[in-house]
């Protein structure tokens, strides 16, 4: 296993919360049997979904991650012919230039038969992110609310990891959602993960 994805710094509480939301969204969908995770990292989500009874495969461009398929999501010729009920790509697409984002979305659409679940980074710089969480009644789920106000968009500076992030200058949320819709996906829901506002979750239907 590629160890940078298993350090305490990487596996912080906010990341575990993001893992929980991904698994929760998948498990809430009906008639999902096969899943492809793109960019599985430490495979924590893939392993959990596999133990929950899903047929799961992984795809990555780095052989050190030991994925089932080695390929680049923006390059169709490198991708498997197999299709899956759901494709999950969490914190992946920002690692390719935005000019290749539409082609990556088209390839994701080809790989999924039903759903696409994404999380993308939403910058905290120049934004105001109020968050409310309360457990008001016993035996009921807590209430969570969050909102992002993009007050002063800042330019994105490539850090050898992310080519772009939601909320940076030139990358407003509206633009990202429109690009997804233009790729013939129907967006079912989208929201900032309440306990980890840096991760923005988007669930789409083919």
Cβ(131)–Cβ(104) below 8 Å? no
What are the tens digits of pLDDT across the range 150-195?
A: 666 788 888 889 999 999 999 999 999 999 999 999 999 999 998 8
Residue 34 reports pLDDT greater than 70: yes
One CATH from 3.30.70.100, 3.40.50.150, 3.40.50.1370, 3.40.50.720 for 3-205: 3.40.50.150
Give domain limits for the chain: 3-205
Contacts of 7 (CB under 8 A, 6+ apart): none
Taken in order 60, 114, 110, 74, the sign of the CA dihedral is: negative
pLDDT band at residue 126 under the 50/70/90 scheme? very low
| Buried/exposed code over 135-153 (b: 16+ C-beta within 10 A; e: otherwise) | eeeeeeeeeeebebebeeb
pTM, to two decimals: 0.87
Q: With cut-offs at 50, 70 and 90, classify the pLDDT of residue 30.
A: very high
β-pairing, 55-60 vs 34-38, is parallel
CA distance 91 to 74: 15
Helix, strand, coil percentages for the chain (3-state, nearest 5)? 30, 30, 40
Name the band, by pLDDT with cuts 50, 70 and 90, for residue 148.
Answer: low
The string of pLDDT tens digits covering residues 56-101 is 999 999 999 999 999 999 999 999 999 999 999 999 999 999 999 9
131 — pLDDT class (breaks 50, 70, 90): low
122 has a pLDDT exceeding 90: yes
- Is the pLDDT assigned to residue 2 strictly greater than 60? yes
pLDDT score at 154: 83
């Amino acid at each position: 296993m590629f160890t940078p994805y298993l350090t305490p710094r990487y596996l912080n509480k906010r990341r575990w919360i993001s893992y929980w939301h991904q698994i929760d969204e998948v498990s809430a969908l009906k008639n999902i049997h096969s899943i492809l995770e793109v960019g599985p990292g430490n495979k924590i989500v893939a392993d959990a979904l596999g133990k929950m009874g899903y047929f799961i495969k992984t795809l990555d461009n780095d052989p050190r991650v030991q994925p089932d398929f080695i390929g680049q999501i923006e390059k169709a010729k490198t991708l498997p012919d197999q299709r899956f009920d759901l494709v999950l790509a969490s914190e992946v697409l920002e690692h390719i230039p935005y000019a290749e984002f539409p082609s990556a979305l088209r390839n994701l659409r080809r790989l999924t038969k039903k759903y696409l679940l994404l999380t993308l980074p939403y910058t905290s710089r120049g934004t105001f992110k109020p968050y409310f969480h309360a457990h008001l009644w016993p035996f009921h789920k807590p209430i969570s609310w969050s909102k992002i106000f993009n007050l002063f968009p800042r330019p994105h500076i490539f850090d050898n990891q992310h080519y772009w992030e939601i909320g940076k200058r030139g990358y407003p949320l509206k633009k990202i959602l429109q690009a997804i819709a233009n790729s013939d996906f129907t967006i079912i829901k989208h929201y900032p993960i309440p306990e980890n506002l840096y991760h923005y979750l988007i669930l789409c239907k083919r």
